[in-house]
Each structure stands twice: as C-alpha cells, then as structure tokens.
Amino acid sequence: MLRVDLQKDEIPKYWYNIVSDLPDLPPPIHPATKEPLGPKDFYPLFPEECVNQEFSKEKRIAIPEELREFYLRIGRPTPLYRAKRLEERLGTPARIYYKREDVSPTGSHKLNTALAQAFYAAKEGLEYLTTETGAGQWGSALSYATMMMGIRALVFMVRISYLQKPYRKLVMKLYGAEVVPSPSDRTEVGRRYLERDPEHPGSLGIAISEAIEAAMRDERAKYSLGSVLNHVLLHQTIIGLEAKKQLESIGEKPDVLIGCVGGGSNFAGFTFPFVEEVLSGKEDYEVIAVEPSTVPSLTEGEYRYDFGDTAGVTPLLMMYTLGHDFIPPPIHAGGLRYHGAAPTVSLLKHRGVIRSVKYTQEEVFEAGRLFARTEGLIPAPETNHAIKAAIDEAMKAKKVGESKVIALNFSGHGLLDLRGYEDVLRL
C-alpha cells in the first residue's frame, strides 16, 4: 500500500493526555520558593482552557466539534505514505512509512495546536496572542490560526531566522501578524541583549522571554507557546492517533517510531499514542528522538530543573537542558535550536522509554537530498533529522536481514528553506 487515507469522519474526537500515564512527572516550580505551581499561577499568561488542559489528569480530552471542522479545513486526516522508492534505493528489507504533516496550509504540524490555542483565546475574548518562532513554522501557524479565529498575533522571530528565511515572515504578515526580529527594542529583555551585541543572532529562549514580557504588559493579550508544555503536546497527539488507525488498517505494526526534537511537539504528537501502549506493557516499540549535534539537549544535556526561557522569567521545568543561557549556533534547522526539551519527553528519556540520537547539519541535508530524489518531496531541515535516523535504521535492518517497520513524522516541507539546501549542499 503506497498511500493510506482515513475518511473525513475519522478525525479523532479526542486528544491523548500522556500526563495521565506519568504520575511521577515533576511539576513546574516557582524559581524563588521552589514550591509547585498550579493553574492559578498560569491563568494570567495563557488562555484559561489551555491552562486547564495543562494540569489535567484525564487520559482523553475531547476536541470541540467546531475545532474538528477547522482540522478538516486544513487537511486532516493527513495521509500516511510508504517510502517505497527510498526503500528500493537503500536496498533494505525494512518498510518505511511517513506521516505527511506538510500538507497543511502553512506546511507543518504546528497548526494542530495553533488552531486549538487561538480557538480558546478567541472564546475567552482576547484580542491577540504573542509568541516566538525559530524557523518560522510556528509563527506561520499561529498567524494563520489567529486570522481564522478573528484575533491577531504578535510574533518575535529569532533574528538569524528572520534574516535567513525572509519568506516565512512574509507568510506571517500575509496572515495579518506583526513580526519582530528577536532580540528587539520592543522589550526590556531584547534591549538588554542588543546592548551587549547589536548583531545578536537570537535564540528561541530569548524570543520566548520577549513574547512573555509583551503579553504580561497588555491585558488584551496572552501568550501562546508552540512546544514544550503539556497542553501543546496534547494537541499534537492527533497526528499519532491518526497514524495508529492508518497502520492498523493495513495490518502493520511499527517496530521503530521516529521524530525530530526541538522542544518536542511533533515528536510527542506522533509517538505518544504509541508510547501509551509501551507504558501499559502492551508493546515494546523502539522510539527515537533526533536532534542536531549542535543542540543535543536530550543526548548531552542534564536532567534538572531549568528555566524555559533565556531571561529566566518562566517557571522552572524539570527537563533535559543545556542551560537556559545556552545560545545555539545559527544552524538552518531553526525549530530545533532550543536549549531544553518538554518535561514529558524528558521524563520518558530519563526512564529509558525513548532514546535520542544526534546528527550534523551536513548529514541531515544529505538525507533530505536523498529523500527529495526518491520520494519527490523536499523536507524541512528539521524533518531531515527524522529522515536521517530512518535511513540509518533501515540500513541496520539491511545488515541483519530484518524486515522491520519504520515510521516517522514528516513534520514539514522545505520549500521555504531552500537557502539552507543551497548553503549546506553547495548547490
């Protein structure tokens, strides 16, 4: 089977909340008192329903019917493809499947949570949401989502990506968002970094600090995050819930599940519905999180409490971290330039439920070129990390003659990231 589709009425009616299966998940804590924080501490910053979901222990959280209609509008359920041409090129007995999240209007998985957060913000009567973005996928998604819900977006875009990816900011502006390079002169945090270095490349941590400061200054606004927190990863599980149905419909069971990781949203969205079966003892999938070698949070970071942003204004989160003051190199996979990882993903790594690997920028772009020349799709730089890991797993299967089933999340296309291909591959 080359392509597996679900019917429109098969869009999942609920999200899977992995927190219900992780009773040992350390809570966010106050930086000064080190006391656990609760919903009331988060209500001033995030839409209230998002906060309720953040702290929910319910295993299944219903997706509102109105929101399911928006999911239908953006192309859900998305197709699952078999990478037969890639398999043939590799000469592997493994079967490789990829879940196509690139078919959304903004080209990535990010709309799954952007629509949900904007939906709840509009219901609450907010006028706009502030956020950060690295490569621009998240900023594009929130700009689209706020436009669809009748509110606005203020996006702080990591400066190096703002310069490298001009068409991403154009997409955001077309959807009505205001886009500001970070660090900026719009906030105290941004001005502080610009004073030290007027050409500062920025980081996701700094952009988060700016977006939070901007939201806290205006009662008409709240903050929206594209990864890391529980409610964000919750919304993304629609990916894995669909993928499970699709694989089951053709009688396939994955041996290996793969996703790239910055904060962890697309990785979690794809793998958590399968990890549920691992946690219950029903299955023993191999689950692989893939990172850049220059920002190896899960692979080389410490598992400890740290700030989610660079300026240290967020609560402390228990996660694998390189340190909140870590400034990553200006690689083209901007969405993976984050110093930490989601607390749920980090706990799973700490417990040995998942493992992580890292690759260089050159390795992953070569994998993207091979994918483009076999499957005909140009992947985003972030997605190339998952593809590289899938290729490596397929070659391991070839070496021992195993017909493993490998599934990965094709988290986004690279049609607005061609500068990266040109620079790295010297095309």
413 pLDDT exceeds 90? yes
Distances (CA, A) of 311 to 154, 194, 247, 324: 19, 13, 43, 8
For residue 50, which of 118, 130, 134, 139 has the smallest C-alpha distance?
118
Closest CA to 205 of 188, 190, 220: 190
Report d(CA 178, CA 113) in Å as an integer.
20
pLDDT tops 80 at residue 72: yes
Per-chain mean pLDDT for the chain: 95
* pTM exceeds 0.75 for this model: yes
pLDDT above 80: residue 334: no
Which pLDDT score, from 0 to 100, does residue 293 have? 97
Per-residue pLDDT, averaged over 346-350, amounts to 98
The residue-averaged pLDDT of 190-195 equals 95
* Lowest mean pLDDT segment, chosen from 134-138, 175-179, 339-343, 391-395: 134-138
pLDDT in tens, 141-187: 999 999 999 999 999 999 988 988 889 999 999 999 999 999 999 99
Q: What angle do CA 29, 31, 35 make, to 5 degrees?
A: 40
- Alpha-carbon distance of 307 to 98, in angstroms, equals 34
Which domains are assigned to the chain? 3-8+70-107+231-425 (3.40.50.1100), 44-61+109-228 (3.40.50.1100)
pLDDT value of position 336: 85
Q: 190: number of CA atoms within 13 Å, CB side?
A: 22
For 36, which DSSP code?
B
408 has pLDDT over 80? yes
